[in-house]
Structure 1
């Protein structure tokens, strides 16, 4: 993980005390559509996916979160609104949970933590922008290559159906890309 800010041991301990440990079993839902989102989650171990189900029932994969990644419905979390995404554990997973209120409190008390979250939000925004641009401008082969570069372990951890949904291709096209 990139280091965005330096903390004293006391600052780290105070910030870390705001987090709660959470475990999920494979296929367990963390966030449902229509839920108010009170927490953001740091993946210690495991794999989660954020997805949107469209009106036709098709899955659109928004994000994978592997070890050392954050996941939530960001709009719902930051604006204290209902989620439009479903977040599911694809493997047994261990997480740290941070509530919106606790995040706000520690950011007020420890400015360095506020700086950390600002840098992480900027980093996330840049990655999402790059993914959107790739999705809109690249062909299936290029999108597949970017996915493998970013998440090389996903081929062994995620079903072809889920990978295809992330790439916006059919399972048959994904099979051709993997050859």
Structure 2
């Protein structure tokens, strides 16, 4: 198993070398193949996941087996089913790798201990949470108020490096458009 190093996760920038030595073994390394699941809907989610490399998608499957993409997470992002993680209930979503991915996981109990023992880390996690909340609000507003073309343009502006990494079938679900509409938007952008 790969060891976490001081430059693996930006969280460690807030720790002294001694503090890093005290906490590094709390982070568990995983390598997952494209298509592999970090967790599935209905399972307990005891970890928060730091994406060291690769790309994952958090999605919900409705009663008619339609997938609803909630978010993507890539290098240097944290992801989990936050409601399941914090409330200790089964997940309502699944986290799946879109690419081969390397992930470091932190157990809920270790997360709580870290923020209690090292109060300055609470600010780190709060900052990450607020940024994620802001991104989710922007996404909700875009789905409610913007045309398909504007949603696509907004995605390109916010995440230009992801457009070639996400399969069009998955991106169309995220944007709330048909695959055909996405292909037309992509084609019009490149002409």
TM surpasses 0.5? yes
Runs of 4+ in 1 over 6 A off after TM superposition: none
Give the length in aligned residue pairs.
178
Q: What's the secondary structure of 2:50's corresponding residue?
A: strand
From the superposition, tell whether residues 97 and 2 of structure 1 become closer, same or farther in structure 2 (CA, over 3 Å). Answer: closer
What's the RMSD between the two structures over aligned residues? 1.7
Task: Specify the alignment match of 1:72 in structure 2.
Answer: 80
Looking at structure 1, the residues matched to 124 and 24 of structure 2 have their Cα atoms a distance apart, in angstroms, of: 13
Answer whether contact 2:60 2:70 (CA < 8 A) is retained: yes
Task: Specify the alignment match of 2:103 in structure 1.
Answer: 95
User: Which of 151, 155, 158 is 2:159 aligned to?
Assistant: 151
Whether 1:11 aligns to 2:19 is yes
Task: Specify the alignment match of 1:23 in structure 2.
Answer: 31
Measured after TM superposition, the shift of residue 2 of structure 1 is 8.2
Unmatched tracts of structure 2, length 5 or more: 1-8
Which of structures 1 and 2 has the larger relative contact order (alpha carbons within 8 angstroms, sep 6+)?
1
User: Which of 142, 152, 173 is 1:134 aligned to?
Assistant: 142
Whether 1:161 aligns to 2:165 is no
Answer whether contact 2:28 2:104 (CA < 8 A) is retained: yes
Answer whether contact 2:52 2:101 (CA < 8 A) is retained: yes
Task: Specify the alignment match of 2:3 in structure 1.
Answer: none
Whether 1:51 aligns to 2:95 is no
Looking at structure 1, the residues matched to 181 and 22 of structure 2 have their Cα atoms a distance apart, in angstroms, of: 49
Q: TM-score normalised to the size of structure 2?
A: 0.87
Task: Specify the alignment match of 1:125 in structure 2.
Answer: 133
Looking at structure 1, the residues matched to 38 and 15 of structure 2 have their Cα atoms a distance apart, in angstroms, of: 30
Q: TM-score normalised to the size of structure 1?
A: 0.93
Q: What's the secondary structure of 2:106's corresponding residue?
A: strand
